[in-house]
Structure 1
């Protein structure tokens, strides 16, 4: 078995602390936190006691601890907690999230402590990966609001405010993304332009266009990249001109959306443009 590893990263944009525990054998005695804890079990099992309730932790379980929730792991059974991911969020930050998502300036009380939700779990994993990578991508912000909207709807007994955007507001958002596609766009940028909340923007965008703002932005960038590749511009330069941080990310997205690598796509048009020399 590999040795124990602990990794932690503070995300200034989202104002949260992310951490990863791998190959962790230690049991946790009864304790509590003064902040919110959101966790995901990647692999391994534990028995958890929280507020006098007993839970069996297994892979793909999500965990939420409110501040002052007393909890402890009482046994590792036959399978230690091998891989655990978590987010720590301060009370002040949670109050701001609650105000933005529900319109209430109060702290949520999440229940139950342990549950399974495949969609939320997948969102948690992708968000955690982006945070640990130090990403400042629009996708990270998007996932954050999708995940916490889900938590509030499911477990905090609160209704998420989500006013549907009108057609002209959707068009304003699309126009903004078109105009700034080569720049580092944030949800704040779009929301200030359209004068809507982040959760409303994401929900309405997805419902009316079938894409999230980030997905829409990627499609715009790939469309522009295709035009540049047809002109014979090197893929490495096309990546920068199209708004991608590096060529690797550009190649991955291009391949996923078109089924071809940038070089393969470019070669098609270079060959077509080459003069034909028939033998006499």
Structure 2
């Protein structure tokens, strides 16, 4: 039986983690977001890719990009097999190096795809003395392939932004929709409709997503799942288990117990140019 999914973290590089999925049919996601920058490579097959308000089909040789806070999901196409590699990088580490978030959500540039596969191979080679430097060089070069994001593209809406900020600040508390409405001065019906249009999730969905993100950060430190569940605002461990699996297609235990390295013999880590990508 093949290993469907594996997470990787290394104490020497605490600001980055990776995931390898060998059979995407077994790893399905609800719409969710991350508080880090995410970039990945589709290594075989095809999938749907939802990012913000657009959904497209992506295939082997495609690089996908998820900026922090952007709601997204990748899922199988009618049961077809597909596999991918994902890299998650903490935003403060990137910002310290002057990195600007890209505007594109995907790329079929063969050069970027090859560079990303080479980066994965470098990260998993624990004997390399300059892995952080190689990671930094990749992100220094990324604007050559992906232009920077234009900050003024989204119109301001102070009340909706206040609602989102209130949820983030109180994500571990037993919030009600009435609490959020009172904090931002909007009616229930308008808040639900407009919030979803702006953030891609309902206020309740956004709250759940924030709680999963908090739990994820705590689990990276090896914390007990039951303790993390209560601190993040879940009713109990079973509640966290359900939400975590829906959002991250993984159990909390599988995520927490990440391995220190992937096998260099894995065919997913071999650097090669995809012949059909322009």
What TM-score, normalized by structure 2, do the two folds share?
0.48
* Higher RCO by CA contacts (8 Å cutoff, separation 6 or greater): 2
Based on CA coordinates, which of the two structures has the bigger radius of gyration? 1
What TM-score, normalized by structure 1, do the two folds share?
0.47
